[in-house]
Amino acid sequence: MLPTLRQLQYLKLLNEHKSFVAAAEAAFVSQPALSSGISELEKVLGVRLIDRARGQVILTAIGEETLKRAEDILARAEDLVEAAQGATRPLSGRFRLGVIPTVAPFLLPKALLKLREAFPQLRLFLREDQTARLIASLKSGALDAAVIALPYDLTGLDHVFICKDEILAATPAGHPLAQQATITPEALKSEELILLEDGHCLREHALAACQWNAPGASDVNQSLSGGFAATSLNTLVQMVGSGLGVSLLPAMAAQSGLLSDNTVIVRPLTGDQAYRDIVVIWRAGSSRAPEAKLLAETLKA
C-alpha cells in the first residue's frame, strides 16, 4: 500500500501551519479528517511522523525526511497537471515566477507588457525575494521558475542565460574618483564602502567584481563588517548621494532612472570580472522547462 497525494499534502500543510486546525482549514477538510489522514500515512510508512507532545506539532527526524520527499512528489504531480493543461498552449494559465529584488524593478516592467501581449491567457504570479529563498521555493514546488543573478550554486537546477549586467563603481557627485573615466578596485579599498546587507547576492557579486572575495582579501570583508549596509538599492543610492561612502551598482539599476537626481556618479570598473549573469532557473527535470525557456526568450528581447 502506498501513501496518497492527499496524505502527503496534509503533512506539508501541517508543517507549514504547525496546527491541525489551521492545516485542516487550508486543506478545506475537517480536523478529524486531516488527523485521520496523517495517522493513515504513519500507518502506511510504519513510522511516527509527528511529535504531538504538549499540544505542539513538531516533525520527528523521519518526519522531516518524509516531508522533503513529499514536497518533491507533490511538485512533480503539479508539474504533471500543468504540463497536461499547457501541452498545446505554452505559458497559459498559472505560472509562478520568483525574481530577486536587484533585478525585478529594472527588468520586469517592460517585459510584463510584452508577456501580456504575447501570451494573453498567462496568469503570472510574481514573488520578489532573495536568491536562497527563491531556490528553496523552486525545489519545494512553490515556484515554477525564477530570475536570479550568477554566480550562484545551481545544484539540482537548470538555467538559461538572459543577459550580462555590468557592475559599476558609484561615488558621490563631488568625489575625486568621479572625475576619472574608470575606477580601479584598489582605489575603492581606501574608501568607506557601502554594500547591500548580507543575504543579497549582489553583495557577493560586487565583491567578486573587485576580486575581494578571493583568498587573501579578508581585510576588505573585515572592514565592511563595521561599516554601513543598505537594505535596498534605493537606500544604498541615497546613502552614497549623501556622501556616506562609495558603492558598486548593477548597470541595469543605473540605467533605469535610479540616479535621476545627479547626486551619484557611476563609472566602469577596470578588470574583466565586473559583471553578473542574469538567468532564468527551474528545477532539473521540471515539465515547465520549455515554458521557462520561452519566458527567458521574452525577457531577453
Read off the C-alpha cell for 294. 520561452
Q: Work out the pLDDT band at 189, boundaries 50, 70, 90.
A: confident
What's the predicted TM-score (pTM) here? 0.70
Same domain, 181 and 291: yes
- Label the pairing between strands 122-128 and 157-172: unpaired
Task: Return the pLDDT at 97.
Answer: 94
Q: What is the pLDDT of residues 72-87, one digit of tens each?
A: 888 888 777 766 665 5
Same domain, 73 and 212: no
Same domain, 68 and 180: no
Same domain, 31 and 95: no
Q: What is the pLDDT of residues 241-289, one digit of tens each?
A: 999 989 999 999 988 888 877 899 999 998 777 899 999 999 998 888 8
How many folded domains does the chain comprise?
2
Q: Work out the pLDDT band at 222, boundaries 50, 70, 90.
A: very low
Q: Is the pLDDT of residue 133 over 90?
A: yes
Same domain, 100 and 212: yes
Residues of the chain with pLDDT > 90, as a percent, come to 48
Same domain, 143 and 250: yes
Same domain, 46 and 103: no
Same domain, 116 and 249: yes
Task: Return the pLDDT at 213.
Answer: 61
Q: Is the pLDDT of residue 20 over 80?
A: yes
Q: Is the pLDDT of residue 216 over 50?
A: no
- Rounded to 5°, angle at Cα 281 from 14 and 215: 100
Cα–Cα distance measured from residue 20 to residue 32, given in angstroms and rounded to the nearest whole number: 9
Same domain, 96 and 236: yes
Q: Which domain holds residue 222?
A: 90-301
Q: What ranges in the chain are assigned the alpha helix state H?
A: 5-17, 20-27, 31-45, 61-85, 104-118, 131-140, 185-189, 201-209, 218-225, 233-241, 251-254, 289-300
